[in-house]
Amino acid sequence: MENKLNFLIGVPTITRADLLQECLQPFILNKNKFDTIIVDNGNQQDIDISQLQTETKAVVVRPDKNLGVAGSWNLIINIALLKSFTHVIILNDDIVLSDDTINNFQNIINKYSDKWLLVSECSYSVFILNLSCLKLLEYKQGKYFDEKFYPAYCEDVDFEYRMKKIDKTKILRNIKELNPKIYRTASSSKKNKRLSKSRIYIRQRNLFISKHGITPYRAYKF
The predicted structure's pLDDT at residue 196 = 52
Q: For residue 2, is pLDDT > 50?
A: no
Q: What tens digit of pLDDT does each residue of 168-214 get? A: 999 999 999 999 999 987 554 444 455 456 889 999 999 999 999 99
Structural domain boundaries in the chain: 7-147+167-185
**Mean of pLDDT values over 47-73:** 82
84-110 as b/e: b if 16+ CB within 10 A: ebbbbbbbbbbbbbeeebbeebbebbe
Query: Which of 15, 212, 210, 11 minimizes the C-alpha distance to 102?
Result: 11
Q: What is the average pLDDT value for the chain, to the nearest integer?
A: 89
Of 21-25, 60-64, 186-190, which gets the smallest average pLDDT? 186-190
Q: What tens digit of pLDDT does each residue of 88-130 get? A: 999 999 999 999 999 999 999 999 999 999 999 999 999 999 9
> Was domain 7-147+167-185 assigned CATH 3.90.550.10?
yes
Q: For residue 42, is pLDDT > 90?
A: no
**pTM of the shown model:** 0.90
